[in-house]
């Protein structure tokens, strides 16, 4: 069983829809990252969370430490949001960074 | 401008060759990582480092080695390349900026990757 699991694995949406991607983890963590990887491989860090909620533009990330769960929301989705979204956790005891399998999002006009 | 650099971006070599993939960052981050990623697949941790002279093995480390003699430099070496090593290799670095609640988003930075093909 993966220590970090994401759902759904694939997601398609119409432009303007509200999108939620979920991440659950089974280990103690010190922080959780949400990353975006576009075709061609470049990875960009979107958020780092240790508690609560963060917002940046149309993106919102939340984390519930007790439930070991985080969500990434995209409001008013746009075709340029099409990418793979990856959840990664920094393990609390080792600082090792463990990645989820990613969620492939496609937003159609 | 602070960044993380990987060279070479693309490499095609024959089986049995020794290769070193370079990774350098100018941000003074203590933590650095090497990941392997096949097309459309998840990232797998190969090695990581907490700082100078500190290295740890990840999940796929058995056929490669790393060194961390300087903070900014974290090279990955394959002693004898095989076709199964054909993949993309991504280097990353990170640092906490306390308090976390006020940290910016960009405390985890990835290089552009090195795409290796072993014939």
Share of chain A above pLDDT 70, in %: 95
Select from B112, B110, B118 the least CA-distant residue to B87. B118
Residue B106 has pLDDT above 80, yes or no: no
Contacts of A83 (CB under 8 A, 6+ apart): A36, A37, A38, A39, A105
Which residues sit opposite B76 in a β-bridge?
B21, B66
**DSSP 8-state symbol, A60:** E
Confidence of residue B97 (pLDDT cuts 50, 70, 90): low
pLDDT band at A58 (very low <50, low <70, confident <90, very high): very high
Residues B16-56 have pLDDT tens digits of: 999 999 999 998 888 899 999 988 788 888 999 989 999 99
- State the residue for tokens 């119409």: A14
pLDDT in tens, B59-74: 776 689 999 999 999 9
Query: To probe the interface with B, which of A97, A99, A100, A106 has the most B CB atoms within 10 Å?
Result: A97
For chain B, what is the mean pLDDT?
A: 87
3-state secondary structure B65-96: EECCCECCECCEEECCCCHHHCEEEEEEEECC
Does the beta-carbon distance from B110 to A44 stay under 8 Å?
yes
Q: What's the whole-number average pLDDT of chain A?
A: 91
CA distance, residue B34 to nearest chain A CA (Å): 10
Would you tell me which residues 62-101 of chain A have a C-beta closer than 8 angstroms to some C-beta of chain B?
86, 88, 90, 94-101
How far apart CA A34 and CA A46 sit, in angstroms, is 5
| Coil vs helix vs strand at B100 | helix
For residues A30 and A92, what is the distance between their CA atoms, to the nearest angstrom? Answer: 4
pLDDT tens profile B45-59: 899 998 999 999 887
Tell me the residues of chain B between 21 and 50 that have a Cβ less than 8 Å away from chain A. 31, 33, 35, 37, 42-43, 45, 48, 50
Question: What's residue A1's pLDDT?
Answer: 61
d(C-alpha A27, C-alpha B69), whole Å: 31
d(CA A70, CA A23): 5
């Amino acid at each position: 069983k993966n220590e970090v699991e994401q759902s759904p694995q694939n997601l398609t949406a119409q432009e303007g829809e509200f999108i939620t991607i979920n991440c659950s983890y089974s280990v103690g963590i010190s922080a959780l990252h949400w990353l975006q990887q576009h075709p061609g491989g470049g990875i960009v860090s979107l958020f780092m969370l240790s508690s609560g909620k963060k917002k940046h533009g149309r993106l919102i990330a939340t984390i519930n430490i007790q439930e070991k769960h985080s969500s990434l929301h995209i409001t008013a989705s746009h075709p340029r949001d099409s990418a793979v979204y990856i959840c990664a956790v920094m393990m609390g005891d080792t600082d090792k960074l463990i990645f989820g399998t990613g969620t492939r999002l496609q937003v159609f006009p | 401008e602070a960044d993380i650099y990987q060279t070479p971006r693309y490499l095609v070599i024959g089986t049995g060759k020794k290769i070193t993939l370079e990774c350098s960052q100018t941000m003074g981050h203590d933590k650095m990582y090497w990941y392997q990623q096949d097309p459309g697949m998840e990232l797998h941790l190969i090695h990581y480092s907490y700082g100078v002279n500190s290295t740890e093995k990840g999940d796929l480390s058995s056929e490669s080695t790393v060194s961390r003699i300087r903070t900014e430099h974290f090279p990955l070496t394959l002693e004898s390349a095989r076709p199964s090593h054909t993949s993309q290799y991504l280097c990353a670095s990170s640092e906490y900026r306390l308090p976390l609640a006020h940290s910016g988003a960009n405390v985890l930075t990835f290089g552009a990757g090195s795409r290796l093909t072993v014939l």
